[in-house]
């Protein structure tokens, strides 16, 4: 079995996707760009600044870096306001049980997220003491699909990339895991996450045997 699991945060551990969408939709409306949930898939795993740039590019709109920065601050204020009322009830199905199984089997766990709000979110849902290693948007320079966030996680855990399984709901995150040489379980829809090794709806049926099956033809 693998030595570690690295979890994305938004959309894998906590249900923050609707909050991100609501806040980005408000910014898209403000600049007059059409934006829907399908387009939102392209923003998952992407930093705040690059997300705003993406929205502007959809409308061929030019803004200075300072203006983009101001939009991201506005977006984040809306977002933080929504997520500040999150509780442990917002942890996604199967997550707590899966983490318990990993701990019982000596498999290390880390967070690999692009979000600068990671510490706030983990605190809101009561998971701030659960992860041995947390790599988030405050510590990385290259956004997913660059593998930096996951490679840093593996290094801090002291394991090889190939000994890690990444859990991801974002197209960019799956690409990051695969280009980093890791196994990847996509959490979401198979049509969206086609580059993952396997795709699940949520973590309810993911267990140690499921992880082992990812390595069925390999020596670890």
Binding site for ligand G6P (CB under 6 A): 10, 20, 43-48, 51, 76, 113-117, 137, 170
Shortest approach of ligand G6P to residue 104 CB, angstroms? 29
Q: Which does 46 bind (CB under 5 to 8 A by kind): ligand G6P, Mg ion, none?
A: ligand G6P
- CA 195, chain centre distance (Å): 15
Nearer to ligand G6P, 10 or 197 (CB): 10
State yes or no: 146 annotated in a binding site. no
- Strand ranges for the chain from DSSP E: 4-7, 108-112, 133-135, 164-168, 183-187, 198-200
Give the interface segment with Mg ion, choosing from 34-42, 149-157, 165-173, 191-199 (CB under 5 A). 165-173
State yes or no: 214 annotated in a binding site. no
Q: Among residues 8, 15, 29, 81, which one is catalytic?
A: 8
- Name which position in 41, 136, 163, 169 contacts Mg ion (CB under 5 A): 169
Shortest approach of Mg ion to residue 193 CB, angstroms? 11
Q: Among residues 10, 29, 81, 146, which one is catalytic?
A: 10
**Catalytic-residue membership of 81:** no
22-26 — which CB contacts under 8 Å span 24+ positions? 22/78, 22/79, 22/82, 23/75, 23/76, 23/78, 23/79, 23/82, 24/51, 24/55, 24/75, 26/75, 26/78
Structure tokens of 105?
A: 């089997």
C-alpha separations of 1 from 28, 77, 155, 203 in Å = 44, 42, 18, 17
State yes or no: 116 annotated in a binding site. yes
Helix residue ranges per DSSP H, 32-161: 37-40, 48-58, 65-83, 95-104, 118-124, 148-157
Shortest approach of Mg ion to residue 16 CB, angstroms? 8
C-alpha separations of 52 from 117, 144, 147 in Å = 17, 15, 21
Shortest approach of Mg ion to residue 156 CB, angstroms? 20
Residues designated catalytic = 8, 10
Residues lying near Mg ion in the complex (CB under 5 A) are found at: 8, 10-11, 169-170
Q: Which residues are annotated as a binding site?
A: 8-10, 24, 43-48, 51, 75, 113-117, 144, 168-169
Residues marked as binding for Mg(2+)? Answer: 8, 10, 168-169
């Amino acid at each position: 079995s693998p030595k570690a699991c690295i979890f994305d945060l938004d959309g894998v551990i906590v249900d923050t996707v609707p909050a991100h969408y609501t806040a980005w939709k408000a910014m898209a409306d403000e600049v007059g760009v059409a934006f829907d949930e399908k387009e939102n898939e392209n923003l998952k795993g992407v930093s705040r600044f690059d997300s705003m740039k993406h929205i502007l590019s959809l409308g061929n709109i030019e803004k200075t870096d300072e203006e983009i920065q101001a939009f991201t601050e506005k977006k984040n204020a809306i977002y933080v306001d929504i997520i500040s009322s999150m509780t442990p009830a917002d942890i996604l199905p199967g997550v707590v049980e899966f983490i318990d199984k990993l701990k019982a089997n000596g498999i290390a766990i880390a967070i690999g997220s692009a979000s600068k709000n990671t510490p706030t979110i983990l605190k809101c849902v009561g998971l701030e003491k659960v992860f041995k290693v947390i790599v988030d948007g405050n510590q990385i320079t290259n956004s997913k699909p660059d593998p930096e966030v996951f490679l840093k996680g593996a290094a801090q855990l002291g394991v090889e990339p190939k000994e890690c399984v990444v859990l991801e709901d974002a197209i960019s995150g799956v690409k990051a895991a695969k280009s980093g040489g890791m196994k990847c379980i996509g959490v979401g829809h198979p049509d969206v996450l086609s580059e993952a090794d396997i795709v699940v709806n949520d973590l309810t049926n993911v267990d140690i045997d499921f992880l082992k099956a990812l390595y069925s033809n390999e020596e670890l």
